[in-house]
Amino acid sequence: MDNIVGKKSSLSWAVNISVAVLVILWLIPTIGLLVSSFRTADQISTSGWWKAFNSNEQNIIVRTANPQTQKIIDGKYVIEGMLFSSEKEMTIRVWGVSSRAIDGYIPGETAKLTKGGEITLRGDGHYRMINENPFTGSRGMRVFVTAPMAPEFTLDNYRKVLFDPKNVEGMGKAFLSTLTVTIPATIIPILIAAFAAYALAWMQFPGRALLVAFVVGLLVVPLQMALIPLLKLHMHIGIGKGFLGVWLAHTGFGLPLAIYLLRNYMIGLPKDIIENARIDGASDFKIFMKLILPLSFPALAAFSIFQFLWTWNDLLVAKVFLLDSSGQTEVMTAKLVELLGTKGGNWEILATSAFVSIVVPLIVFFTLQKYLVRGLLTGSIK
Amino acid sequence: MKKINSLVCVTAAFFAASTALAGNVSVFGPWLGGDQENVEAVLDGYANATGNTYSYVGSDSFEQQVRIDAEAGSSANVSVFPQPGLAADFAKLGFLTPLASGTGDWVRDNYAAGQSWVDLGTYAGPDGKDNLYGFFYKIDVKSLVWYSPENFEDAGYAVPSTMEELKAFNDQIVADGSTPWCIGLGSGGATGWPATDWVEDLMLRTQSPAVYDQWVSNEIKFNDPRVVAAIEQFGAFARNEAYVSGGSGAVSTTDFRDSPKGLFSSPPQCYMHRQASFIPVFFPEGISVGEDADFFYFPAYASSNLGKPVLGAGTLFSITNDSPEAHSLIEYLQTTEAHEIWMARKGFLTPHKGVDTSVFSDPTLKKMNDILLGATTFRFDGSDLMPGGVGAGSFWTGMVDYADGASAQSVADAIQASWDALK
């Protein structure tokens, strides 16, 4: 009796658990990225993000004050000071003065220095160095400290990506360039695809089925194959590299999916109302504008989310069709790659920029998401 | 409203830029971030000297993008190639314009080991005739071993000056309970390249430069016993459990950008790191080169009679879209000013003999440049000269396999097979 309509399946707990597991699995990388975006480059390279929240014991190297600050007290040379800046409270567990024995002493003990003199270190980081002869050298001495450290987070990465005076102007410009690419590259294919989908769904003409099959076939053509021939064509007919070129490219690459999605949705609309409208003397254009477009809104919204996200995140098409040698048309993705440096590897910038560039797509997604599921199911169920 | 205005501005800028202005030179190169600021400082110097304007665009995927642009005919005036191998391919396909006559003579007269720089920039054109296509500017020295002087001091170590000493030094560090080397081969899609530098350096230290050249041009096979021996020499360092921080299993999985950090950790994970002159970019924050970190020349065998070979790499400027301004930029790069602007900044070495080396921003750069100028043999990074499928393909992956435990002979056989397949 399990399959009676309206009765919950006895296995619904399994569904719930697997959904929960899948959601967590999907979220883990995102959370890791978010945590990493608040950590410094050195923290990222030395410990995993999941360790960011516990206070854990760390070995660090700090320096005493410069020998130039030494004073003469009772005929001896003395350097005094604090190893840590005042806002950080730390309690040292063990310490040392040589990289060979970083845990040679406990707080309060006095260590002999190889270059002469001695140093006494208290648990709070206060130290005192005494020597019969003057301390020499251009810098302070290294002290190796082992202490539990409170978790530490920083906003510096966000400051660097968003407000660094060196790239704040470029970033603003890149943001506008991205919008200049994205908005027309979303609207143009939807316009064309809506007309085409109506024609393929509701207008009778010879070869219609073949045309649909052809469009579906185009779905599997990888866009990488078309990059060079298309750019050659653009150069040849005088469009060159620039916004016009990238709009056309995005339109071309987006159209097969758009037409396919919208046609499948439109063909599922009730036949009666369209035939009624025909009998009442409405032209195809009128039917399209007054009936089909309003009824297809979920599918249009779903596709515009797809297309928007894809053009927003796009780097490849922008690099090929947009970025010319003038450097004036840089999009955000290209700008972020630039921040990563010549040899890459600035993970903290990568994590941060991921979250910076995700903001606008998230806004778009949440405003249109109620249509997304409806639109996604287009054509799959009637 | 303001937004709309700036939108209009951007669009206007795009249309203005797409119609090439008179007296503008566009430059496309591999430099981003800090290096981009440096190259733009040099280009500012060019703009001041000539009254022309410039535009520079950098890319992290230079190799792919420059090809797309060349195929489609949308290249910048001047492209800066990181590998001569790629430039040679381009010359053959007719994408490059030969440099003005006389440039070769200038390089021969003004660069240390001038003839070798001319040879490295000379390729066969589409008609099969040799021309000078590339002008070398900005060199990296690769035969360097980085270390922390204070850690050496704490342990009472001295810098080894011959390969024999270095090998004894390895054992001494292990006997003292520490680890001598940090080696990391990870580099995303280019994983393995740091090991190719090791093998090239060891080739130069065990074989004559002539053999090295034959190896690079495949006149002697990759699976020749002499090459296999050089790979095994690398294995003596990287495949010895006790020699490498994290054990030999960590070599191929550690990122090359992270591996030098072990020099500066507390306690130090390793004492030495062999890497090119650019590596200080990846040192932890606050490490100052010359004080916290220093380097020595990766030593040669005292017993062999091969002098002091130096392995290096460099970028070359080529004209990918002919214009008078492009030629004037190459001319400007022949002035000492063009070299000194970047010397006063960061990470720049030059074989130009006429420059004032006192303008180097820090003394370590001067020390590196002295290694470069004092080399008895200078050889270019072999993997950059080999065909892309080998030098940027099977050689990399082969070295990862070797680091993970495959035998040197089988790895060399596989690389040679991939080279044969390209012919």
The DSSP 8-state label assigned to residue B108 in this structure reads H
Q: Pick the residue from chain B with its C-alpha nearest to A59.
A: B266
In this structure, the number of other CB atoms found within 10 A of the CB of residue B175 comes to: 9
Sequence-separated contacts (24+) of A1-5 with Cβ below 8 Å: none
pLDDT tens per residue across span A155-189:
888 888 888 777 777 788 888 899 999 999 999 99
Which residues of B are less than 8 Å from A242 in CB distance?
Answer: 14-15, 18
Which residues of A are less than 8 Å from B32 in CB distance?
Answer: 337-338, 340-342
Give phi and psi for B277, each to the nearest 5.
-70, -10
Give phi and psi for A138, each to the nearest 5.
-90, -15
How far is it, in rounded angstroms, from Cα B144 to Cα B52? 39
0.90 surpassed by pTM: no
Which residues of A are less than 8 Å from B68 in CB distance?
Answer: 227-228, 231, 320
Confidence of residue A366 (pLDDT cuts 50, 70, 90): confident
In this structure, the number of other CB atoms found within 10 A of the CB of residue A306 comes to: 18
- pLDDT at residue A311 tops 70: yes
| Residues contacting B67, CB < 8 A, separation 6+ | none
Q: Are strands B309-319 and B377-380 parallel, antiparallel or unpaired?
A: parallel
Which residues of B are less than 8 Å from A328 in CB distance?
Answer: 10, 13-14, 17, 55
Which residues of B are less than 8 Å from A42 in CB distance?
Answer: 261, 284-285
The residue ranking higher by pLDDT, B80 or A43, is: B80
Interface A-B, measured as beta-carbon pairs within 8 A, has a size of 144
How far is it, in rounded angstroms, from Cα A195 to Cα A266? 11
Architecture of B26-141+312-380 per CATH? 3-Layer(aba) Sandwich (3.40)
B265: its two tokens: 């950790």
What are the pLDDT tens digits along chain B (423 aa)? 344 444 444 444 444 444 444 588 999 998 887 788 889 999 999 999 998 999 898 887 788 888 888 888 888 999 999 888 888 889 999 999 999 988 999 998 888 878 888 988 999 999 889 999 999 999 889 999 999 999 998 899 999 999 999 999 999 999 999 999 999 998 877 889 999 999 999 999 999 989 999 999 899 999 999 999 999 999 999 999 999 998 888 999 888 988 998 999 888 999 999 999 888 878 888 888 888 899 999 999 998 888 888 898 889 999 999 999 999 999 999 999 999 999 888 778 888 888 888 888 778 888 888 888 777 788 899 988 888 788 888 999 999 999 999 999 999 999 999 999 987
Sequence-separated contacts (24+) of B102-105 with Cβ below 8 Å: B103/B132, B103/B135, B103/B330, B103/B334, B104/B132
Q: Where are the alpha helices (DSSP H) in B302-392?
A: 324-332, 336-343, 363-373, 382-385, 388-389
pLDDT tens per residue across span A108-137:
888 888 878 888 888 888 888 888 888 887
3-state SS class at B27: strand
How far is it, in rounded angstroms, from Cα A340 to Cα A79? 42
pLDDT tens per residue across span A371-381:
776 666 655 54
The residue among A226, A297, A287, A294 whose CA lies nearest residue A255 is A226
Across the range A63-82, mean pLDDT stands at 86
- Is the Cβ of A57 closer than 8 Å to some Cβ of chain B? no
Domain locations in chain B? 26-141+312-380, 144-310+384-422
How far is it, in rounded angstroms, from Cα B195 to Cα B167? 18
How far is it, in rounded angstroms, from Cα B257 to Cα B255? 5
Q: How far is B304 from chain A (nearest CA, A)?
A: 35
Which residues of B are less than 8 Å from A324 in CB distance?
Answer: 17-18, 26, 57, 74
Structure confidence at residue A3 (pLDDT)? 57
CATH number for region B144-310+384-422? 3.40.190.10
Q: How far is A139 from chain B (nearest CA, A)?
A: 9
Q: Pick the residue from chain B with its C-alpha nearest to A234.
A: B72
CA dihedral B187→B191→B195→B200, nearest 10 degrees, is -100
Domain locations in chain A? 12-51, 56-149, 164-376
Structure confidence at residue A343 (pLDDT)? 67
Q: Pick the residue from chain B with its C-alpha nearest to A103.
A: B267
- Is the Cβ of A238 closer than 8 Å to some Cβ of chain B? no
| Residues contacting A106, CB < 8 A, separation 6+ | A93, A94, A95
CA distances from A15 to A3, A21, A25 (A): 16, 10, 15
| Element holding A25 (H helix, E strand) | helix A12-36
**DSSP per position, B234-252:** HHHHHT-TTTBTT-GGGTT
Structure confidence at residue A358 (pLDDT)? 86
How far is it, in rounded angstroms, from Cα B395 to Cα B194? 11
The residue ranking higher by pLDDT, B21 or A151, is: A151
- Is the Cβ of A136 closer than 8 Å to some Cβ of chain B? no
Q: List the helix and strand counts (H, then E) for chain A.
A: 14, 8
In this structure, the number of other CB atoms found within 10 A of the CB of residue A114 comes to: 12
* CATH fold group of domain A164-376: MetI-like fold (1.10.3720)
Q: What is the largest CA-CA distance in chain B?
A: 76
Q: Pick the residue from chain A with its C-alpha nearest to B2.
A: A176
Q: What integer best gives the mean pLDDT of chain A? A: 85
CA distances from B23 to A355, B55, B236 (A): 41, 11, 56
- Is the Cβ of A323 closer than 8 Å to some Cβ of chain B? yes
Which amino acid is residue A74, in one-letter code?
Answer: D
How far is it, in rounded angstroms, from Cα B177 to Cα B157? 14
Omega before B267 within 30 of 0, i.e. cis:
yes
How far is it, in rounded angstroms, from Cα A288 to Cα A282? 10
Q: Among B154, B259, B265, which would you mutate to test the A interface (most chain A Cβ atoms within 10 Å of its Cβ)?
A: B154
- ipTM of the complex, rounded to two decimals: 0.73
3-state SS class at B343: helix
Which residues of A are less than 8 Å from B148 in CB distance?
Answer: 99
Structure confidence at residue B14 (pLDDT)? 42
Q: Residue length, chain B?
A: 423
The residue among B341, B123, B298, B317 whose CA lies nearest residue B199 is B298
Give phi and psi for B52, each to the nearest 5.
-80, 165
Q: Pick the residue from chain A with its C-alpha nearest to B15.
A: A242
Q: How far is B421 from chain A (nearest CA, A)?
A: 24
Does B26-141+312-380 match B144-310+384-422 in CATH topology? yes
How far is it, in rounded angstroms, from Cα B408 to Cα B398? 9
Which residues of B are less than 8 Å from A227 in CB distance?
Answer: 68
Q: Among A93, A99, A353, which would you mutate to test the B interface (most chain B Cβ atoms within 10 Å of its Cβ)?
A: A99
- Is the Cβ of A325 closer than 8 Å to some Cβ of chain B? yes
Across the range A10-23, mean pLDDT stands at 90
Q: Are strands A126-131 and A118-121 parallel, antiparallel or unpaired?
A: antiparallel
Cβ contact A60–B266 (<8 Å): yes
Q: Which residues are registered as beta bridge partners of B273?
A: B146
Q: Work out the end-to-end distance of chain A between its first and last CA atoms, rounded to an integer number of angstroms.
A: 26
Please report the residues numbered 89 through 108 in chain A whose beta carbons come closer than 8 angstroms to any beta carbon of chain B.
98-100, 102
CB contact at 8 A, A193 and A262: yes
Give phi and psi for B130, each to the nearest 5.
-75, 135
B74: its two tokens: 């949308």
How far is it, in rounded angstroms, from Cα B124 to Cα A144? 58
Instruction: Point out the residue among B58, B60, B258 whose CB comes nearest to the CB of A344.
Output: B60
| Exposure on the CB side of residue A83, measured as CA atoms within 13 A | 28
Q: At what angle do helices B408-422 and B225-238 cross, to 10 degrees?
A: 130
CB contact at 8 A, B69 and B28: yes
Instruction: Point out the residue among B7, B68, B261 whose CB comes nearest to the CB of A227.
Output: B68
Which residues of B are less than 8 Å from A61 in CB distance?
Answer: 264, 266
CB burial class (10 A; 0-12, 13-18, 19+) of residue A91?
exposed
Confidence of residue A291 (pLDDT cuts 50, 70, 90): confident
